[in-house]
């Protein structure tokens, strides 16, 4: 009798303690496409939160010495399903942050490759997440909307008929993720980001002008913008983008009414950005020479309605236009000084 009570209590304790440990163990996170504009900063942010070795950066690009020093980095081609499986098993991955993609302007230059990376790649990671019960985060974009969508403001649920392969692949990812959630209970989470502004080189999107302008004016004092001066687009500083990603990933599942949310911080035009920068650098020379990216921008949201994210998981942006300009001037100056340019 006594022995039985002891056994029962040991069993209870083992279950209790292993449950506690599991709950307290930080998630092991794999970031795909991690050497792009968002991945490196995202790894830094999440390593600060969950520990250096719990966030694995991956890409198909050869890393710099600094990347290797900062924490684990491995080769991962998202088109190689077996390779992905091995990494998830070997590293006991819990969360997958899927950044690999060809962005809007680059995607239009190589549609077959965009289909492979953005659509086949998504098939691989979502199957993997289902098989190994991972929480999976896939970013979407304002580019998932098109000329038939309301543009000011663009609500969370509305018509989505994008005209770029990038946008088409992101709508596909959103729908596939929602389907896997309803059909298999997969913990799929997706944020539609606006143009994300950081001092790192952008990956070939339509909102890149808002980064390139800082690099060019600090190096040469002038910038030629490929969008018309009055082209309004939603934007956010990378700090807000990463905080949104992290808060959303941690939001309790029962608070979420959706799997896909709009998030944003602000909307501005090139001429409004120039005016904001002129407060700190009065002698700017800006010229405008619109190219094919103008057509893409003209089909995208001007103002993004993120009220559902604010309601469900308390999303609130912190960096406004003036702060964004101050941060970018400081960060880009530091980058230029570090690279000796």
Ligand X SMILES: NC(=O)c1ccc[n+]([C@@H]2O[C@H](COP(=O)([O-])OP(=O)(O)OC[C@H]3O[C@@H](n4cnc5c(N)ncnc54)[C@H](O)[C@@H]3O)[C@@H](O)[C@H]2O)c1
Q: Are 276 and 321 in contact (CB under 8 A)?
A: yes
Based on CB atoms, which residue is closest to ligand X, 79 or 115? Answer: 79
Q: Are 325 and 280 in contact (CB under 8 A)?
A: yes
Binding residue for ligand X (CB under 6 A) from 28, 33, 136, 216? 33
317 scored as a contact of ligand X (CB under 6 A): no
Binding residue for ligand X (CB under 6 A) from 6, 61, 89, 175? 61
With CB atoms as reference, the residue minimizing the distance to ligand X is 36
Q: Output the CA angle 176-178-180, nearest 5 degrees.
A: 70
Binding residue for ligand X (CB under 6 A) from 36, 107, 162, 177? 36
Cα–Cα distance, 254 to 3 (Å, whole number): 41
Q: Which residues contact 24 (CB under 8 A, 6 or more apart)?
A: none
Cα–Cα distance, 121 to 291 (Å, whole number): 30
46 scored as a contact of ligand X (CB under 6 A): no
Binding residue for ligand X (CB under 6 A) from 141, 206, 264, 299? 141
| Per-residue burial over 37-53, b = 16 or more CB atoms within 10 Å of its CB, e = otherwise | bbbbbbbebbbeebeee
Provide, rounded to whole angstroms, the least separation between the CB of residue 11 and ligand X: 45
Q: Which stretch binds ligand X (CB under 6 A): 29-37, 213-221, 225-233, 271-279?
A: 29-37
37 scored as a contact of ligand X (CB under 6 A): yes
Structural tokens at position 252: 């309790």
Label residue 279 exposed, middle or buried (CB < 10 Å: 0-12, 13-18, 19+).
exposed
Structural tokens at position 53: 């070795």
240 scored as a contact of ligand X (CB under 6 A): no
Residues belonging to the chain: 341
Q: Map residue 119 onto helix, strand or coil.
A: helix
Based on CB atoms, which residue is closest to ligand X, 281 or 298? Answer: 298
Choose the catalytic residue: 166, 209, 223, 226.
166
Based on CB atoms, which residue is closest to ligand X, 35 or 186? Answer: 35
Structural tokens at position 204: 């070939």
Residues 186-215 binding ligand X (CB under 6 A) are: 193, 195-196, 203, 205, 207
Q: Which stretch binds ligand X (CB under 6 A): 4-12, 28-36, 314-322, 332-340?
A: 28-36
| Residue 59 Cα distances to 76, 77, 78, angstroms | 5, 7, 8
With contacts defined by CB under 6 A, how many residues of the chain interact with ligand X?
A: 27
Based on CB atoms, which residue is closest to ligand X, 33 or 146? Answer: 33
Based on CB atoms, which residue is closest to ligand X, 74 or 281? Answer: 74
Based on CB atoms, which residue is closest to ligand X, 20 or 120? Answer: 120
Q: Map residue 215 onto helix, strand or coil.
A: helix
Provide, rounded to whole angstroms, the least separation between the CB of residue 38 and ligand X: 4
Q: Output the CA angle 181-185-190, nearest 5 degrees.
A: 35
Furthest-apart CA atoms within the chain: distance in Å: 88
166 is catalytic: yes
Cα–Cα distance, 164 to 325 (Å, whole number): 29
Provide, rounded to whole angstroms, the least separation between the CB of residue 16 and ligand X: 40
Contact map string, positions 69 to 108, toward ligand X, x by CB under 6 A = -------xxxx-------------------xxx-x-----
Residues belonging to the active site: 166
Q: Please report, as ranges, the residues that interact with ligand X according to CB under 6 A.
A: 32-33, 35-39, 59-61, 76-79, 99-101, 103, 117, 139, 141, 193, 195-196, 203, 205, 207
């Amino acid at each position: 009798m006594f022995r039985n009570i002891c056994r029962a209590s040991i069993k209870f304790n083992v279950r209790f303690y292993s449950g506690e440990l599991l709950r307290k163990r930080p998630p092991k996170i794999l970031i795909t496409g991690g050497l792009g504009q968002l991945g490196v900063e995202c790894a830094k942010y999440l390593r600060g939160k969950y520990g250096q070795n719990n966030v694995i950066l991956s890409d198909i690009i050869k890393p710099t010495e600094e990347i290797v020093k900062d924490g684990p980095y491995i080769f991962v081609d998202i088109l190689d399903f077996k390779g992905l499986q091995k990494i998830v098993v070997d590293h006991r991955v819990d969360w997958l942050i899927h950044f690999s993609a060809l962005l809007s302007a680059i995607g239009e230059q190589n549609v077959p490759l965009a289909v492979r990376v953005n659509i086949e790649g998504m098939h691989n990671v979502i199957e993997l997440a289902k098989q190994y019960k991972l929480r999976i985060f896939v970013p979407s974009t304002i580019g998932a909307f098109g000329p038939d969508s309301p543009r000011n403001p663009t609500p969370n649920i509305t018509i989505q008929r994008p005209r770029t392969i990038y946008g088409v692949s992101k709508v596909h990812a959103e729908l596939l993720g929602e389907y896997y959630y309803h059909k298999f209970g997969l913990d799929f989470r997706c944020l539609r980001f606006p143009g994300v502004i950081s001092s790192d080189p952008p990956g070939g999107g339509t909102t890149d002008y808002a980064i390139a302008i800082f690099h060019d004016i600090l190096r040469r004092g002038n910038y030629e913008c490929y969008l018309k001066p009055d082209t309004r687009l939603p934007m956010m500083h990378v700090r807000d983008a990463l905080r949104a990603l992290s808060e959303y990933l941690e939001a309790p599942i029962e608070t979420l009414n959706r799997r896909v949310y709009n998030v944003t911080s602000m909307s501005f035009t090139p001429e409004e950005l120039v005016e904001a920068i002129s407060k700190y650098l009065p002698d700017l020379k800006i010229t405008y020479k619109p190219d094919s990216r103008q057509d893409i921008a003209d089909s995208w949201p001007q103002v993004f309605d993120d009220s559902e994210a604010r309601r469900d998981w308390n999303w609130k942006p912190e960096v406004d236009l003036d702060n964004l300009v101050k941060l970018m001037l400081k960060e880009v100056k530091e980058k230029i000084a570090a690279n000796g340019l």
